Structure 1
Amino acid sequence: MLTIALYNTYDVKKLHEAHIRAIARAAPVAYAFGFHLALVGFPFEKDDPKVVAEEVASTTTIGEGGKYLLELSNANKFHLMDFPRKGFPPQFGIPIATTSKPSREKFITTEEAARMALEGRSLLLIIGLGRHGLPKDVLKISKYHLDITDGMGVSLETCTAIGIIPVKLRTLMEALKWKRRLKK
């Protein structure tokens, strides 16, 4: 299972248009590339993913009016999580913080992440919403840090990262599959 996790670093008490836009933009990407979508620490009144999907879909024109968020929800690929206290739920797999400033000890390349996915390991790719990226405690509890620019340290705008991370990971997974086939 591959999951894009949007980590709320905006307002934790009130839902804003920025929250809705990020969800609406991430849903078609997750759907198109076979990812689950998880929201971490979003201030929704209900904690039912289906209710939240319907609520968000009713307020956006992005992603064909929320169609892809509803598709994810109907396929049980849309999840809501509280902020982690000691770690992320293990059913989502290996927590990987996406950051332009990875620690040397936790840094992995996108190719290494693609190899893990091809081995059948579940990956939780955590993307921070907002100007400050992921909080230090999330970087600390994440097993790995992924700089999608593979060490160049280029900071990407949130929606750019939401698009690039799954696309690059899936592309490398396909390339590795082809490489394996050619060796046979």
Structure 2
Amino acid sequence: MLTLALYNSYDPKKVHEAHLRAIARAAPICYAFDFHLALIGFPFNEKPLDLSEKISENTTIGEGGKYLLELAKKNKFHLLEFPKRGFPPQFGTIIATTRKPDEHKEISAIEVAKRALKGESFMLIVGLGRHGLPEEIFKLAEYHLDITDGKRISLETCTAIGSIPTKIRTLMEALKWKKR
């Protein structure tokens, strides 16, 4: 299972328009590249399907929220609280996405792809907000991933949201073809 997780670094008590846009933008990417979508620390009380219906009523992104609804119907849309001691084990290995990975925790996209093909689960966390991911997530994460392959390029949040699943799934497909 591959999961793209959006970490709420904005306001944990109030839903902002930026939250809704990021969720609506992430859903088609996750759907297209067979990723789960998780929201961490968002102020939602609804169940995933109810929330997806509510968001889809208020967006034109992703064909009016169609892909968020599809993810929810397939149990691929998850709502998580801020971690106290870690994340639920079904999400697998935690990876913080960053342009400044700790050299002792750095993992490449090709390594994630190879291990995912062998059945390992990963949750790749993207920080929403000006400050990105908080330090405790970097400490909690087993690995850090620079999706620009060591170029250390800062990507706008939605660009990163699109790049991460696209690159990993493309590498997985290339590795499958290479084995043939």
The AA in structure 1 aligned to 2:136 is: D
Could you say which residue in structure 1 is the equivalent of 2:16?
16
What residue number does 1:26 align with? 26
Superimposed CA distance per residue, residues 18-38 of structure 1 (whole angstroms, 9 cap, x where no aligned partner) = 000000000000000101000
Which residue of structure 1 lines up, in the alignment, with residue 112 of structure 2? 113
Tell me the TM-score normalised to structure 1 length. Answer: 0.96
Q: For the aligned residues, what is the CA RMSD?
A: 0.7
Q: Mapping of 1:70-149 within 5 angstroms?
A: 70-149=69-148
TM-score, structure 2 normalization = 0.98
In the alignment, the residues of structure 2 paired with residue 99 and residue 116 of structure 1 have an alpha-carbon distance, to the nearest angstrom, of 20
3-state SS of the aligned residue for 2:144?
A: strand
CA-to-partner distance for each residue in 1:68-113, whole Å, 9 max, x for gaps? 0000000110000000011111111110110001001100110011
User: Does 1:35 find its partner at 2:17?
Assistant: no
Question: Secondary structure of the residue that 2:79 maps to in structure 1?
Answer: strand
Report SS of the residue matched to 2:111.
helix
Gaps of 5+ in 1: none
Letter in 2 for 1:49: P
Q: Please state if 1:153 is matched with 2:147.
A: no
Which residue number in structure 1 is paired with residue 6 of structure 2? 6
Q: Which one-letter code corresponds to 1:25 in the other structure?
A: R
Percent identity over paired residues: 67
Mapped to 2, the partners of 1:36 and 1:170 lie a distance apart of 13
Output the CA distance in 1 between the equivalents of 2:177 and 2:49: 37
